[in-house]
Amino acid sequence: MCDGQAIITVLFIVKFKEAKRLLINDLGRHNGPLLPHIQSRLTTVLQSGWYILGAEVSAFEESFAAYCGVARCVGVGNGTDALELALRALRIGPGDEVITVANAGGYGTAAIRCTGADPVYLDVRPDSMSMDPAVLKTRITSRTRAIIATHLYGRMADMPALRAIADAAHIPVIEDCAQAHGARMDGRAAGAWGQLGCFSFYPTKNLGALGDGGAVITSDASLAERVRALRQYGWTQKYDCRAGHGRNSRLDEMQAAILSVKLPRLDDWNRRRRTINALYSELLDGAGVRLPPVAGENDAAHLYVIRTPKRDRIRTALANQGIATDIHYPIPDHRQECARGTASSACALPVTEVCCGEVLTLPCFPEMRDDEVAKVAASVRQAI
């Protein structure tokens, strides 16, 4: 009998902990309040009888382009395809080099490799962990055909400096904005600084669909037309295939409708994310971990990432209290198994490697309450 009671007690505690578990990004809490709006919008789409490349995709493309302050937006299947189609729109292929960083999750690398081009990695700045313009200058070769600048964790790379160097060398810049929807530098949106800006609408992103989705934005009409053709078999019109390397990578009507419900709320969500960032930084000040720079307008505050050599100990302590953490990202691209034997696997990226060994992501999403932030911060302090 006692055993039975003990089991029930344990089960109750497990259940209780499960219920109170704090996620990195709680999509149930984020999307829950929107479901009535989303459901009614989806009903309209379902009843319309038109599910691929129709009025919803066009409407979202138009409003997202306007939101970003560019002329065109082309909805595609996901963020990695957005990067690949942007590269292909620039006619990048085998024999070409594309400069990028190795600490941003490998999405740019996957897209570059799909085109047959070679990634060339630059080390990152120790403060911002993004591409270092001073290094960029030294690594441009006669084979360099593009630069992919990633706005890591939502924080924009130094676009004025990167653009100046790229422009002087006549090399186009592609921005990876998958973590930076709505960030702005000098009033200009992430994605509007480069020749092309690439977005993912994966559910966890600041602007997330309820499935896969992506977009390429640009103010260059001919690049937009190329991406438009490439996302649908290479067609310029139905059954008229003019662009090589076409495929099927479309944003669908349902996801576009969901994104249209969410876009008007994005700025508020980003403001709340920045407030959470600031609160964390206040509460963790002097705790002995390296804190990210204060999030201003140029930071969509996608992830709150601290740096510490005591990462494993902190992760375990937080996990024991039902607090989820993650590592973005543990293995730099040039050290991945799939890079073995490639020219890029031999490069030296000391700052990148130290960062990958120390970064730790704490929970951050717009619905997170101040007392939850305080609890996480207190747990981090306790664990050090």
Ligand X SMILES: *Cc1c(COP(=O)(O)O)cnc(C)c1O
Whether 183 contacts 149, CB under 8 Å = no
Q: Of the listed pieces 102-110, 155-163, 271-279, 349-357, which binds ligand X according to CB under 6 A?
A: 102-110
Residues 35 to 74 in contact with ligand X, rule: CB under 6 A: none
Closer of 107 and 280 to ligand X (Cβ): 107
One DSSP character per residue, 351-371 reads: HHHHHHHHEEEEP--TT--HH
Q: Of the listed pieces 101-109, 154-162, 227-235, 317-325, which binds ligand X according to CB under 6 A?
A: 101-109
For ligand X, the nearest residue by Cβ is 79
> Which residue bears the tokens 């003019």?
242
For the window 233-262, what string marks contact with ligand X as x by the rule CB under 6 A?
A: ------------------------------
Give the Cα separation of 6 and 268 in Å (integer): 47
Can you tell me which of 194, 197, 214, 292 binds ligand X, judged by CB under 6 A? 214
Beta strands (DSSP E) in the chain are 72-76, 97-101, 118-122, 144-150, 173-176, 184-185, 188-189, 196-200, 214-218, 235-237, 240-241, 304-307, 359-362
Longest dimension (CA), the chain: 80
Can you tell me which of 178, 258, 266, 380 binds ligand X, judged by CB under 6 A? 178
Distances (CA, A) of 121 to 49, 103, 138, 201, 330: 47, 9, 12, 26, 16
Can you tell me which of 60, 64, 67, 107 binds ligand X, judged by CB under 6 A? 107
Whether 183 contacts 151, CB under 8 Å = yes
Shortest spacing between CB 270 and ligand X, in angstroms = 16
Shortest spacing between CB 207 and ligand X, in angstroms = 12
Can you tell me which of 137, 202, 265, 353 binds ligand X, judged by CB under 6 A? 202
Closer of 280 and 329 to ligand X (Cβ): 329
Per-residue DSSP letter, 94: T
Work out the angle at residue 23's Cα, subtended by the Cα atoms of residues 21 and 26, and round it to the nearest 5 degrees. 115
Residues 116 to 175 in contact with ligand X, rule: CB under 6 A: 150
Tokens of 265: 């709320």
Shortest spacing between CB 205 and ligand X, in angstroms = 6
Can you tell me which of 75, 105, 172, 194 binds ligand X, judged by CB under 6 A? 105
Per-residue DSSP letter, 241: E
195 lies in the site for ligand X, by CB under 6 A: no
Shortest spacing between CB 73 and ligand X, in angstroms = 15
100 lies in the site for ligand X, by CB under 6 A: no
**Binding stretches for ligand X (CB under 6 A):** 78-80, 104-105, 107, 150, 176, 178-179, 200, 202, 212, 214
